[in-house]
Amino acid sequence: MSDQPFALLLAGPTASGKSALALALAERLGGTVINADSMQVYGGLRAITARPDAAEEARAPHRLYGVHDAGTAASVAWWRGQALAEMAAARLPILCGGTGLYFNALTEGLSEIPPVPPEAREEARGLLAALGPAALHARLAEADPDTAARLRPSDSQRLARAWEVWRGTGRGMAAWQAVPGTGPAQRDGVAWRFAAIRLDPPRDALRAAIGQRWQGMLAAGAVEEVAALVARGLDPTLPAMRAHGVPEIAAALRGEISMEEAGRRACLATGQYTKRQATWFRHRPLAGATDTHTIHARVAGQEQFSESEWAEIIAFIDRRR
């Protein structure tokens, strides 16, 4: 046993079964599941983001699920601060999600970017809405080519963030990120130790799971959730309004497409996103983790692990904490 505090990272693409595995581990090991998914932090999106339901949350402690209002964007820095507080209070923190930037914020740290004036943020959102992400990317490439080179032209949220940082601070995000920042996560001045379990199921199994997940979301009230969001008149560029399934169901509610077509589009978009997630975790390993145990064979949670598989998972964790 080390004097350093220990936390487990549980990462993988959407619909790979992370939540089910995290819950099972929390029950077996007395852990606390801490959300590391950038969409599941928002309130009012339990069904559409396939968050753990009330019965699952009652079986083991769950933190940072549905805690941020959908009407404002939750920053990585905000999440990091909340996660560190929850980790300090947990016997075994199990950080569960598919957002690589969240994990990196803990294991590598964040750049100390100054607060951005509201007018810069409003300008960025306005340009994104008026021009679209590709045109905003082109403008960013002229103003801040180093940052633009790191971003996909379709990544609207990060493009808007990059524009507001450049306009609001006079320096681009790439320049800020080159300056030493917070450093890896610590508790009482002692660095956290991390080990990771990564889910990487076969593509065909993941595609099937995405389809099943969509049907489960509908049955759990996803349409009603999206209707409530739409009724608030929220900015469509907000992260919560771009969660997979929200734009598609909103279009169906407006009568622009059928609900069947909404499902087809949402599952397609989710599948494309999972490819990017899998690529991230394969080619950019979870930096800061002492070791990573990868599960390839299945979508976790769809069937029970055998006792030998459980023994291997538990032994991996025990050897590293």
Q: List binding-site positions for ATP.
A: 12-19
Sheet holding 32-35, edge to edge: 62-63, 32-35, 93-97, 6-11, 193-199, 289-295
Distance (Å, whole) CA 148 – CA 162: 8
187 phi and psi angles, rounded to 5 deg: -130, 115
Can you say which residues are annotated as belonging to the binding site for substrate? 14-19
Reading phi first (left if > 0) and then psi (alpha if -120 to 50, else beta), residue 177 is in alpha
Structure tokens at 171: 């320096």
Which ranges of the chain would DSSP assign to H, the alpha helix?
A: 18-29, 54-59, 76-89, 100-107, 118-131, 133-143, 145-148, 156-169, 173-177, 203-219, 222-231, 246-253, 259-283, 307-320
Can you say which residues are annotated as belonging to the binding site? 12-19
Residues 6+ apart with CB under 8 A from 236: 129, 242, 247
Are 40 and 32 in contact by the 8 Å Cβ rule? The answer is no
Residues 6+ apart with CB under 8 A from 135: none
